């Protein structure tokens, strides 16, 4: 799949209430969402023919749109049903699901309150976000130059397209240096997240994770916190300063695409792929695809 451009994949895309052929799902070059990032989206995964926490994702899509000042013209139930039907139509059991909503092309300027709101869903097969062999050893992260913005300067609680510009820049810079991804600080200089995933650390059997006050409280993040607490692990959500990474023993990322991914290195800091991370990897697998759960090594 990696060798085929996304606009040349086969199948169908659900777009504004209709299933259209993949190649025909097009927008105009003067679409407001392209020029001014007035778009919100979700990333979801299907396992065994079921989309994990679908309704939570769709509810967040609606909330992200509300934060950006527009309403999606399809209900949560309608989008949920469209996702399920498209998954069947694509013929996939395990797949990645991408709903998106955006302002159209009626007006092109900063103000575009009269623009039509469009909504589309695409589904394709996307195995592991990170190289599987590297993932088992723990991926390496660069320290990003860009920081997650102050909530007073950007709609940080929305999964909005524009907020990912600095993520792309940071990930590209990291990959150019041989890293898999980058860890971003927030506007105050505190540990925030990776470019597309939340971050956790382990020390003395306790799990620490930054308080999501200027970045998304990920659905996978919340799932993993629940799984950890079921195991009676102590999970602490708090401010984490960069220098604290020197004392952490384990580190991992969580996200729909990343799932649970161990981290072996962040800049000068080193971590082991320890038992807590392995346990949570296995528990997450069992949660999303119980028939394929494997024993922790």
pTM, full prediction: 0.93
Residue 126 is predicted with a pLDDT of 85
Here the tokens at position 202 are: 């382990």
| Residue 116 known to be catalytic | no
6-124 and 132-292: identical CATH topology = no
Q: Which position has the token pair 């600080």?
A: 185
| Per-residue pLDDT, 135 | 77
pLDDT in tens, the chain (297 residues): 457 899 999 999 999 999 999 999 999 999 999 999 999 999 999 999 999 999 999 999 999 999 999 999 999 999 999 999 999 999 999 999 999 999 999 999 999 999 999 999 999 998 777 777 777 899 999 999 999 999 999 999 999 999 999 999 999 999 999 999 999 999 999 999 999 999 999 999 999 999 999 999 999 999 999 999 999 999 999 999 999 999 999 999 999 999 999 999 999 999 999 999 999 999 999 999 865 544 444
Catalytic residue among 53, 135, 157, 159: 159
Domain boundaries, the chain: 6-124, 132-292
Residue 180, helix vs strand vs coil: coil
What are residue 113's DSSP bridge partners? none
User: What is residue 136's predicted lDDT score, i.e. its pLDDT?
Assistant: 81
The DSSP string of 18-86 is EEEEGGG----TT-HHHHH--EEE--EEEETTEETTHHHHHHHHHHHHHHTT---SS-HHHHHHHHHHH
Contacts from 270-278 at CB under 8 Å and sequence distance 24+? 271/138, 271/201, 272/138, 273/136, 273/137, 273/138, 274/202, 274/249, 274/250, 276/202, 276/205, 276/207, 276/233, 276/250, 277/202, 277/250, 277/251, 277/252
CATH architecture of 132-292: Alpha-Beta Barrel (3.20)
Q: Which two tokens stand for residue 149?
A: 């913005």
Contact 115, 106 (CB under 8 A): yes
Class of domain 6-124: alpha beta
Nearest alpha-carbon partner for 86 in 18, 185, 29, 153? 18
């Amino acid at each position: 799949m990696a060798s085929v451009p996304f606009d040349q994949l086969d199948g169908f895309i659900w777009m504004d209430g209709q299933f259209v052929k993949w190649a025909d799902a097009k927008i105009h070059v003067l679409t407001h969402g392209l020029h001014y990032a007035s778009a919100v989206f979700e990333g979801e995964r299907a396992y065994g023919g079921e989309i994990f926490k679908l309704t939570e994702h769709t509810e967040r899509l609606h909330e992200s749109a509300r934060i950006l000042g527009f309403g999606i013209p399809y209900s949560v139930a309608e989008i949920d049903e469209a996702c399920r039907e498209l998954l069947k139509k694509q013929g996939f059991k395990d797949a990645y699901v991408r709903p998106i909503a955006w302002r159209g092309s009626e007006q092109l300027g900063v103000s575009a309150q009269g623009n039509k709101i469009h909504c589309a869903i695409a589904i394709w097969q996307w195995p592991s976000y990170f190289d599987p062999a590297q993932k088992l050893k723990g991926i390496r992260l660069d320290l990003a130059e860009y920081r997650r913005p102050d909530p007073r300067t950007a709609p940080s609680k929305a999964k909005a397209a524009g907020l990912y510009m600095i993520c792309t820049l940071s990930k590209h810079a990291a990959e150019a240096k041989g890293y898999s991804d980058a860890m971003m600080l927030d506007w105050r200089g505190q540990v925030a997240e990776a470019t597309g995933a939340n971050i956790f650390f382990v020390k003395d059997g306790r799990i620490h994770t930054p308080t999501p006050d200027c970045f998304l409280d990920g659905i996978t993040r919340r799932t993993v916190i629940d799984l950890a607490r079921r195991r009676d692990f102590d999970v602490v959500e708090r401010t984490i300063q960069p220098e604290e990474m020197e004392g952490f023993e384990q580190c991992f990322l969580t996200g729909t695409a990343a799932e649970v991914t161990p981290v072996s290195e962040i800049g000068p800091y080193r971590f082991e792929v320890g038992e807590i991370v392995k346990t949570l990897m296995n528990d997450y697998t069992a949660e999303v695809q119980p028939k394929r759960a494997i024993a922790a090594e």
